[in-house]
Amino acid sequence: MEFWESSFTEKQTMWGFDPTDSAILTKDFFLERNIKDILVPGIGYGRNAKVFIDNGINVTGIEISKTAIDLARQNRLDISIFHGSVTDMPFDNRLYDGIFCYALIHLLNKRERDKFIKDCYNQLKPNGYMIFTTVSKKAPMFGKGKQLDKDYFEIMEGVKMFFYDSDSIKQEFGKYGLIEFSEIDEPNKNIKGKPPINFIIVKCKKQL
């Protein structure tokens, strides 16, 4: 995960400040269900947090990069952010109405992913929702670099990614209230000329 720390140092806010399409769709989903209090693991410098905050949703973040947290503060993101890795969850004993995690879970290995999904589920209130946006096998990076395991590649030095499909979504999220999943082509809003990347939006609900 050190790669992301250096990326922030070198490129700062390279992704811009516009929220991703996934975050906008999740905001609408949460508002329709009266979700008021959410946890955002991997909040980064907050580009996806503001769309929730601006719509009256309370946000708590987790972020491994101190540089990213500092950038969030510089950009007036005045919310609680735990400094640490999602692999060390939980950071508090609160239960949340919702959890939104964008483009993070595929950076974890199998053991870490299993723990992370379970930890998120355990921090949901009954009838709460958790939504993950993760890279799919249709993404252009799939199959690139060194293969470490099934659908798991080191696409460049220090960057390991697991690529999901419908089978692995059902396998990993199935016992954690999986209700639906769908594909989305996320445009690179701040990098001109880059094609969109195919992601999967995974929605789970904590049953009573």
Number of H helices, E strands in the chain: 6, 10
Contact (CB, 8 A) for 125 and 131: no
Residue 192: the pLDDT is: 61
pLDDT for 10 equals: 38
What are the tens digits of pLDDT across the range 25-40? 999 999 999 999 999 9
Rounded Cα gap, residues 153 and 145, in angstroms: 6
Number of other residues whose CB lies within 10 A of the CB of residue 147: 11
- Rounded Cα distance between 131 and 124, Å, is 11
Angle at 205 between CA 204 and CA 208, to 5 degrees: 150
Residue ranges of domains in the chain:
2-135+165-205
Sign of CA dihedral 40, 201, 52, 48: positive
Q: Give the pLDDT confidence score for residue 9 in this predicted structure.
A: 38
Report whether 22 contacts 30 (CB < 8 A).
Answer: no
Q: Which two tokens stand for residue 34?
A: 């009266």
Give the span between the Cα atoms of 197 and 134, in whole angstroms.
10
Tokens 């099934």, residue located: 150
**How would you label 9-20 residue by residue, b for 16+ Cβ within 10 Å and e otherwise?**
eeeebebeeebb
Strand partners for 178: 204
pLDDT in the model for residue 189: 57
Instruction: Give, in order, the Cα–Cα distances in Å from 193 to each of 187, 189, 196.
Output: 10, 10, 9
Please give the CATH topology (third level) of the domain spanning 2-135+165-205. Rossmann fold (3.40.50)
Q: Are 100 and 131 in contact (CB under 8 A)?
A: yes
Which segments in the chain show pLDDT lower than 70?
Answer: 1-16, 188-193
